[in-house]
Structure 1
Amino acid sequence: MKLKLTLILAAAAVIGGPVSAADIEAGKKKAAVCAACHGQDGISMIPNYPNLKGQKAAYTEKQLFAFKDKKRNDPIMAAQAAALSDDDIKNLAAYYESLGKK
Protein backbone atom coordinates (compact mmCIF):
# COMPACT_ATOMS: atom_id res chain seq x y z
CA MET A 1 0.00 0.00 0.00
CA LYS A 2 2.84 2.41 0.84
CA LEU A 3 4.52 1.66 -2.47
CA LYS A 4 1.33 2.41 -4.40
CA LEU A 5 0.85 5.68 -2.59
CA THR A 6 4.48 6.65 -3.17
CA LEU A 7 4.20 5.91 -6.88
CA ILE A 8 0.96 7.87 -7.19
CA LEU A 9 2.45 10.88 -5.39
CA ALA A 10 5.62 10.73 -7.50
CA ALA A 11 3.58 10.59 -10.71
CA ALA A 12 1.44 13.51 -9.58
CA ALA A 13 4.53 15.58 -8.85
CA VAL A 14 5.92 14.90 -12.32
CA ILE A 15 2.64 15.46 -14.15
CA GLY A 16 1.54 18.44 -12.09
CA GLY A 17 4.99 19.99 -11.78
CA PRO A 18 5.74 23.49 -12.94
CA VAL A 19 5.75 24.04 -16.66
CA SER A 20 8.15 26.68 -17.89
CA ALA A 21 6.48 28.70 -20.58
CA ALA A 22 8.62 30.55 -23.06
CA ASP A 23 8.83 34.31 -22.70
CA ILE A 24 8.04 35.88 -26.08
CA GLU A 25 9.11 39.38 -24.98
CA ALA A 26 12.48 38.06 -23.81
CA GLY A 27 12.80 36.28 -27.15
CA LYS A 28 12.04 39.50 -29.00
CA LYS A 29 14.83 41.31 -27.14
CA LYS A 30 17.29 38.48 -27.76
CA ALA A 31 16.32 38.43 -31.47
CA ALA A 32 17.96 41.82 -32.04
CA VAL A 33 21.24 40.00 -32.70
CA CYS A 34 19.53 37.55 -35.08
CA ALA A 35 18.16 40.40 -37.20
CA ALA A 36 21.56 41.07 -38.76
CA CYS A 37 21.25 37.87 -40.82
CA HIS A 38 17.62 36.77 -40.47
CA GLY A 39 15.94 40.15 -40.92
CA GLN A 40 14.19 42.58 -38.61
CA ASP A 41 11.00 40.52 -38.29
CA GLY A 42 12.47 37.16 -39.21
CA ILE A 43 12.38 37.73 -42.97
CA SER A 44 15.91 37.51 -44.33
CA MET A 45 17.09 39.81 -47.09
CA ILE A 46 19.96 37.40 -47.78
CA PRO A 47 18.93 34.34 -49.82
CA ASN A 48 21.29 31.94 -48.01
CA TYR A 49 19.84 32.72 -44.57
CA PRO A 50 16.49 31.17 -43.68
CA ASN A 51 13.41 33.11 -42.74
CA LEU A 52 12.43 32.54 -39.12
CA LYS A 53 9.09 34.34 -39.06
CA GLY A 54 6.29 31.91 -38.33
CA GLN A 55 8.61 28.92 -38.03
CA LYS A 56 7.29 26.34 -35.56
CA ALA A 57 8.95 26.80 -32.17
CA ALA A 58 9.79 23.10 -31.85
CA TYR A 59 11.68 23.18 -35.15
CA THR A 60 13.62 26.36 -34.28
CA GLU A 61 14.51 24.94 -30.86
CA LYS A 62 15.70 21.70 -32.44
CA GLN A 63 17.96 23.54 -34.87
CA LEU A 64 19.41 25.92 -32.28
CA PHE A 65 20.12 23.07 -29.85
CA ALA A 66 21.76 21.15 -32.70
CA PHE A 67 24.09 24.10 -33.38
CA LYS A 68 24.76 24.54 -29.68
CA ASP A 69 25.51 20.81 -29.22
CA LYS A 70 27.65 20.80 -32.40
CA LYS A 71 25.38 18.29 -34.11
CA ARG A 72 24.99 20.84 -36.92
CA ASN A 73 28.05 22.55 -38.27
CA ASP A 74 28.04 26.21 -39.20
CA PRO A 75 30.71 28.47 -37.69
CA ILE A 76 28.46 31.52 -37.39
CA MET A 77 25.45 29.72 -35.97
CA ALA A 78 27.56 27.54 -33.68
CA ALA A 79 29.06 30.66 -32.11
CA GLN A 80 25.67 32.35 -31.80
CA ALA A 81 23.96 29.29 -30.31
CA ALA A 82 26.83 28.62 -27.89
CA ALA A 83 26.11 31.97 -26.26
CA LEU A 84 22.42 31.11 -25.72
CA SER A 85 20.98 29.53 -22.60
CA ASP A 86 18.31 26.85 -22.94
CA ASP A 87 15.72 29.47 -21.94
CA ASP A 88 17.07 31.90 -24.54
CA ILE A 89 16.57 29.24 -27.22
CA LYS A 90 13.01 28.53 -26.09
CA ASN A 91 12.21 32.24 -25.91
CA LEU A 92 13.62 32.93 -29.37
CA ALA A 93 11.71 30.00 -30.84
CA ALA A 94 8.46 31.17 -29.24
CA TYR A 95 9.03 34.71 -30.46
CA TYR A 96 9.58 33.74 -34.09
CA GLU A 97 6.59 31.41 -34.04
CA SER A 98 4.45 34.21 -32.59
CA LEU A 99 5.13 36.36 -35.65
CA GLY A 100 2.92 34.10 -37.73
CA LYS A 101 3.32 33.24 -41.38
CA LYS A 102 5.00 35.50 -43.95
Structure 2
Amino acid sequence: MKKTLLMATLLSTLSFAVHAGGNIEAGKEAAKKFNCASCHGDNYSKPIDPSYPKLAGQHADYIAQALHAYQRGGDAANGRSNPTMATQAKALSNQDIQNIAAYLHSLPSELVLKK
Protein backbone atom coordinates (compact mmCIF):
# COMPACT_ATOMS: atom_id res chain seq x y z
CA MET A 1 0.00 0.00 0.00
CA LYS A 2 2.80 2.41 0.88
CA LYS A 3 4.58 1.69 -2.42
CA THR A 4 1.39 2.29 -4.38
CA LEU A 5 0.72 5.58 -2.59
CA LEU A 6 4.32 6.68 -3.03
CA MET A 7 4.25 5.82 -6.75
CA ALA A 8 0.94 7.64 -7.28
CA THR A 9 2.29 10.73 -5.50
CA LEU A 10 5.51 10.65 -7.52
CA LEU A 11 3.70 10.28 -10.84
CA SER A 12 1.24 13.07 -10.11
CA THR A 13 4.10 15.34 -9.03
CA LEU A 14 6.04 14.62 -12.22
CA SER A 15 2.94 15.14 -14.31
CA PHE A 16 2.36 18.55 -12.69
CA ALA A 17 6.02 19.52 -13.14
CA VAL A 18 5.90 18.73 -16.86
CA HIS A 19 2.64 20.63 -17.29
CA ALA A 20 3.79 23.59 -15.19
CA GLY A 21 7.00 23.98 -17.17
CA GLY A 22 5.41 25.67 -20.16
CA ASN A 23 6.26 25.40 -23.83
CA ILE A 24 9.01 27.72 -25.07
CA GLU A 25 7.84 27.87 -28.70
CA ALA A 26 4.23 28.51 -27.66
CA GLY A 27 5.53 31.18 -25.27
CA LYS A 28 7.44 32.87 -28.08
CA GLU A 29 4.23 33.03 -30.13
CA ALA A 30 2.19 34.27 -27.15
CA ALA A 31 4.75 36.99 -26.38
CA LYS A 32 4.39 38.17 -30.00
CA LYS A 33 0.59 37.91 -29.89
CA PHE A 34 0.36 39.99 -26.71
CA ASN A 35 3.05 42.43 -27.96
CA CYS A 36 5.29 42.18 -24.89
CA ALA A 37 8.24 43.61 -26.84
CA SER A 38 6.47 46.93 -27.34
CA CYS A 39 7.38 47.88 -23.77
CA HIS A 40 10.08 45.40 -22.75
CA GLY A 41 12.18 45.70 -25.93
CA ASP A 42 12.78 43.45 -28.92
CA ASN A 43 15.13 41.16 -26.97
CA TYR A 44 13.23 41.67 -23.68
CA SER A 45 16.40 43.14 -22.16
CA LYS A 46 16.13 46.76 -23.28
CA PRO A 47 12.77 48.14 -22.14
CA ILE A 48 11.56 51.43 -23.59
CA ASP A 49 11.48 52.96 -20.11
CA PRO A 50 14.12 52.30 -17.43
CA SER A 51 11.39 51.65 -14.86
CA TYR A 52 10.15 48.63 -16.85
CA PRO A 53 11.82 45.33 -15.98
CA LYS A 54 14.20 43.37 -18.15
CA LEU A 55 12.45 40.05 -18.70
CA ALA A 56 14.98 37.93 -20.62
CA GLY A 57 16.52 35.30 -18.37
CA GLN A 58 14.24 35.96 -15.40
CA HIS A 59 13.19 32.88 -13.45
CA ALA A 60 10.06 31.38 -14.97
CA ASP A 61 8.32 31.04 -11.61
CA TYR A 62 8.95 34.73 -10.87
CA ILE A 63 7.46 35.81 -14.22
CA ALA A 64 4.44 33.54 -13.75
CA GLN A 65 3.88 34.81 -10.19
CA ALA A 66 4.14 38.43 -11.36
CA LEU A 67 1.64 37.91 -14.18
CA HIS A 68 -0.81 36.22 -11.81
CA ALA A 69 -0.36 39.12 -9.37
CA TYR A 70 -1.21 41.60 -12.15
CA GLN A 71 -4.33 39.53 -12.87
CA ARG A 72 -5.36 39.83 -9.20
CA GLY A 73 -4.79 43.58 -9.23
CA GLY A 74 -3.67 45.96 -6.52
CA ASP A 75 -6.68 45.49 -4.25
CA ALA A 76 -6.36 41.72 -3.92
CA ALA A 77 -3.98 39.95 -1.57
CA ASN A 78 -0.50 39.80 -3.10
CA GLY A 79 -1.66 41.64 -6.21
CA ARG A 80 0.18 44.20 -8.28
CA SER A 81 -1.27 47.46 -9.48
CA ASN A 82 -0.31 48.69 -12.94
CA PRO A 83 -3.06 49.60 -15.41
CA THR A 84 -1.15 48.51 -18.52
CA MET A 85 0.05 45.20 -17.11
CA ALA A 86 -3.31 44.46 -15.49
CA THR A 87 -5.01 44.77 -18.88
CA GLN A 88 -2.36 42.65 -20.58
CA ALA A 89 -2.34 39.96 -17.86
CA LYS A 90 -6.12 39.61 -17.66
CA ALA A 91 -6.14 38.47 -21.30
CA LEU A 92 -3.72 35.60 -20.53
CA SER A 93 -4.77 32.05 -19.75
CA ASN A 94 -2.84 30.04 -17.16
CA GLN A 95 -1.19 28.13 -20.02
CA ASP A 96 -0.24 31.41 -21.76
CA ILE A 97 1.43 32.52 -18.54
CA GLN A 98 3.39 29.27 -18.17
CA ASN A 99 4.44 29.38 -21.82
CA ILE A 100 5.52 33.03 -21.77
CA ALA A 101 7.41 32.46 -18.52
CA ALA A 102 9.24 29.46 -20.03
CA TYR A 103 10.11 31.44 -23.17
CA LEU A 104 11.41 34.51 -21.33
CA HIS A 105 13.41 32.32 -18.96
CA SER A 106 15.06 30.59 -21.94
CA LEU A 107 16.43 33.85 -23.38
CA PRO A 108 19.98 35.10 -22.74
CA SER A 109 20.01 37.41 -19.76
CA GLU A 110 21.53 40.82 -19.37
CA LEU A 111 20.69 40.76 -15.67
CA VAL A 112 24.19 41.30 -14.30
CA LEU A 113 25.23 42.82 -11.02
CA LYS A 114 27.72 45.61 -11.54
CA LYS A 115 30.62 45.84 -9.13
TM-score bracket for the superposition, by shorter chain length: 0.7 to 0.9
User: Who is 2:85 aligned against?
Assistant: 77
State the superposition RMSD in angstroms: 1.5
User: Who is 1:38 aligned against?
Assistant: 40
Q: In structure 1, what is the Cα distance between the partners aligned to 2:84 and 2:91?
A: 11
Aligned positions, number: 97
Q: Which runs of 5+ in 2 are unaligned?
A: 74-78, 111-115
The one-letter amino acid paired with 2:51 is N
Task: Say if 2:69 is the partner of 1:61.
Answer: no
TM-score, normalising length from structure 2?
0.76
TM-score, normalising length from structure 1?
0.84
Deviation at 1:94, TM superposition (A): 0.9
Deviation at 1:47, TM superposition (A): 1.4
Deviates more, 1:62-71 or 1:7-16: 7-16
Q: In structure 1, what is the Cα distance between the partners aligned to 2:82 and 2:48?
A: 19
Q: In structure 2, what is the Cα distance between the partners aligned to 1:75 and 1:90?
A: 22
